[in-house]
Structure 1
């Protein structure tokens, strides 16, 4: 009922998943900075998530984590599982009683799996997309793999939900956590497309400004910004940015063109 990719890029780990299932992001994915990532699906066993991460944390290789988890599971024939660790190959498992079509593939730093799919072309398309985009930002690369699977047919029952979960050391809001991205589309006619929209908004609000694109906040531009801020009913650029959740993009004495475009349009979400 689900197709997913679990992957690693440098110190980052992530899971992208879609399904004809309500709120798939609340069930399938888990990841921990410094350890790895896990996806449990088909007849999902939620115990796999903490147990898998605990084993990865101690340095157990993904294939051995999979073997250990399913060995003691009496319902393993109905399970599907994907795991990546801090190095080496990912691992995927499909129980022999998962509903057709079901299967997966794995390689260096990734595992892709799905069940109740239109066919193996879903997994093949996801792997091809993942391998063809090594220089793309990790979250975008995960989403591209998910989009490729969706375009190839995806879940043969239809569409309902999708999720993207990414962790990296200190990558959370304000550096206060390791959760770089936790986006969920719980019930939607086109969840993967909606997930892309949410990722665009996430990047707008929480992305870091490009140092090479920053504009000097002086002269006519400074006057324009001050006038626009006043027209929006705020005392300063900092106050306006806080209201619009753009404070992460502020740089003293300069302005991010993304912030400037939002200010000119009147609202941050108009840019997403």
Structure 2
């Protein structure tokens, strides 16, 4: 039903999540990030509250495994949940409940964790970890490479229809927040197209926010 990768850039400290699902609008429910704190992918039978609760605990100084356990215990029904997270230091925690759907797996790698359920095989998650670790470049590129590797390894047992990419850096808002809420075919490919369009404009939007006097013009009505 869902597979995801949570990654950290050791050079910049950026944190990011890429995720895809057979369900609609996975980006609205499952990826949770907070700059300087951590990143949480909450999936399977999704409880969105787990993301903010775990991030609150991390921000209060809890270690990832403790933050995860406290949130699962607090909300109950943990057997239905699957969660993968990294904190701002790159420390990880993983959980797959006994009622996780279909073939499922969760693994930690170097500065990354990946998890999935209703997979075509457990090897999908290992392929994601390998692709993230071996791909050079920006964090967003590495996260998307992991998603493409997942599909090449078989992806989900059925078709996927939504995907999302989210990255936080030094600012309080996400520097990348791209979503494909529904596509009949290849939402990861559509997400990659969005990233290729957004990538050359990413810094411009940060500049526009921080210093409007230096804001570049895009030539739209009223934009001078």
Aligned positions of 1:98-117 closer than 5 A: 98-117=100-119
Deviations 1:160-179 (A, max 9, x none): 00000001113xxxxxx531
SS in 1 for 2:197: helix
Contact 2:8–2:90 (CA<8 Å) still a contact in 1?
no
Q: Which residue of structure 2 lines up, in the alignment, with residue 180 of structure 1?
A: 175
Q: Which residue of structure 2 lines up, in the alignment, with residue 21 of structure 1?
A: 23
CA distance in 2, matches of 1:54, 1:89: 16
Q: 1:193 aligns with which of 185, 189, 195?
A: 189
Bigger helix fraction: 1
Instruction: Give unmatched runs, 5+ long, in structure 2.
Output: 205-213
Of the two structures, which has the highest relative contact order with CA contacts closer than 8 Å and spacing of 6 or more?
Answer: 2
CA distance in 1, matches of 2:98, 2:75: 14
Q: Which residue of structure 1 lines up, in the alignment, with residue 218 of structure 2?
A: 242
Q: Structure 1 residues 96, 132: CA separation in 2 closer, same or farther (over 3 Å shift)?
A: same
Report how far residue 88 of structure 1 moved: 4.0
Q: Which residue of structure 2 lines up, in the alignment, with residue 265 of structure 1?
A: none
Contact 2:109–2:129 (CA<8 Å) still a contact in 1?
no
Using the size of structure 1 for normalisation, the TM-score is 0.72
CA distance in 2, matches of 1:59, 1:65: 9
Segments ≥4 residues shifted beyond 2 Å:
71-74, 204-208, 238-242
Q: Structure 1 residues 206, 244: CA separation in 2 closer, same or farther (over 3 Å shift)?
A: farther
CA distance in 1, matches of 2:48, 2:201: 32
Report how far residue 239 of structure 1 moved: 11
Q: Structure 1 residues 124, 243: CA separation in 2 closer, same or farther (over 3 Å shift)?
A: same
SS in 2 for 1:17: strand
Deviations 1:5-27 (A, max 9, x none): 11221321111000101010001
Q: Structure 1 residues 240, 50: CA separation in 2 closer, same or farther (over 3 Å shift)?
A: closer
SS in 2 for 1:113: strand
Report how far residue 73 of structure 1 moved: 3.4
Q: Which residue of structure 2 lines up, in the alignment, with residue 87 of structure 1?
A: 89
SS in 2 for 1:59: coil
Instruction: Give unmatched runs, 5+ long, in structure 1.
Output: 171-176, 209-237, 248-272
Q: Structure 1 residues 64, 107: CA separation in 2 closer, same or farther (over 3 Å shift)?
A: farther
Report how far residue 91 of structure 1 moved: 1.4
Pick the structure with greater CA Rg.
1
